[in-house]
Structure 1
């Protein structure tokens, strides 16, 4: 019979709050907290081990257990918040890439590097693999992931190309087409190999080489003469 989370293994004296406080200990704010996952911890003196009793963090915790679902109406909302937060800083760096219409190569190199740093991050790659494997079974979560991850990334790329077009720095082509072509050139020699575990996360030298090749090919096709 399993012992983990089995109420019948609890000490009878702890039955009132269903905790034997025997999972782990943590020193916090001058007390030693003995904890178990399914209830509030017991507080002890860290030097003498005198037991003070159940610890509710000075009345701040009013429930024995709690869940993130208290803050989100559904699993979908929780997942959406996670995806947004996971990629927030990297997407913001893409959005903040400075556009220099007089030096297109510099602008595109900076953009390409920030893009590849984002999509080759191990956590992002792992999430990509997970969503791809579950997309058919959980299409709503896949949609949420796309709208808050890949779609926001593409929109950040489009913003740069809109500015380059406004400066007449490149040929007058639809900015979405430009963004998607540039994206494909940057990731073509790297992303699939990482997704399929052929290569680990590429180092900065590898990223710079891929971006240099992508920028050269892109300018050959789209730069104004």
Structure 2
């Protein structure tokens, strides 16, 4: 094999060791949690991960890329769980309850609150990072829930006229009084299980009152009023 071919092969294999990539990501996660995104440097990551700077740059070209990889990795695990939940359109009340509780627990967790704060902290200086964070996270979640609501409506289990709007409403209701208070440090600890259950239960009652399957009488309120008269 020629020297040029050897170099090409070596380069093609660079950055493909899963264990080394995992080592770097774990070190970076610790650094970002302890120092915050803006304060952390690639040198800090190399020390925490126990790798050389040259090795780090083989896997990740910048701090932004490293931060994005961490967020994407966590999100993919989360969205895989959600996709399985949304396979059941026959029982929307239970599916939405499970989804709402999972969502509220996830978004009020220490790790996600820190990630949101980090992105907000750099969004003015790096608007593309903020836009990418939103599109690949909240926007994707809205789309998945909207598709579920549309399917459940087509099956007669719900009566949603604007699935996207209804999806955003349910997401906000499921985190009412929890997410923003956590984000701005008004409450420091993650909400307990019962608090999440109560919040999502209330959200579900409001949501189903608006979008539950309609009876014939509900679809024709004038006829119902005439009958009562």
Q: Scaled by the length of structure 2, what TM-score is found?
A: 0.65
- Could you tell me whether the CA contact under 8 Å between 1:93 and 1:114 is conserved in 2? no
Structure 1 residue 89, shift from structure 2 partner:
1.6
Rounded Cα–Cα distance in structure 2 between residues aligned with 1:65 and 1:192: 37
Rounded Cα–Cα distance in structure 2 between residues aligned with 1:99 and 1:138: 37
Structure 1 residue 202, shift from structure 2 partner:
0.7
Structure with more contact order per residue of length (Cα contacts < 8 Å, sep ≥ 6): 2
Identify the match of residue 177 of structure 2 among 189, 202, 208: 189
Rounded Cα–Cα distance in structure 2 between residues aligned with 1:91 and 1:215: 21
Greater fraction of residues in strand: 1
Structure 1 residue 168, shift from structure 2 partner:
2.0
Structure 1 residue 113, shift from structure 2 partner:
1.2
Rounded Cα–Cα distance in structure 1 between residues aligned with 2:52 and 2:166: 54
Query: Which deviates the most, 68-77 or 107-116?
Result: 68-77
The CA RMSD over aligned residues, in Å, is 2.4
Identify the match of residue 92 of structure 2 among 104, 122, 127: 104
* Structure-to-structure mapping, 1:89-168, within 5 angstroms: 89-168=77-156
Specify the alignment match of 2:208 in structure 1: 219
What does the per-residue CA deviation read over 1:102-145, in whole Å, with 9 as the maximum and x for residues that have no partner?
A: 43211210111121122112111111111112211111211221
Matched position secondary structure for 1:96 = helix
Rounded Cα–Cα distance in structure 1 between residues aligned with 2:153 and 2:208: 13
Gaps in structure 1 of 5+ consecutive residues: 1-36, 42-62
Higher Cα radius of gyration: 1
Greater fraction of residues in helix: 2
How many equivalent residue pairs?
A: 166
Gaps in structure 2 of 5+ consecutive residues: 1-45, 215-229
Matched position secondary structure for 1:171 = coil
* Structure-to-structure mapping, 1:28-67, within 5 angstroms: 65-67=53-55
Identify the match of residue 85 of structure 1 among 73, 76, 85: 73
Q: Is 1:206 equivalent to 2:191 in the alignment? A: no
Q: Scaled by the length of structure 1, what TM-score is found?
A: 0.66
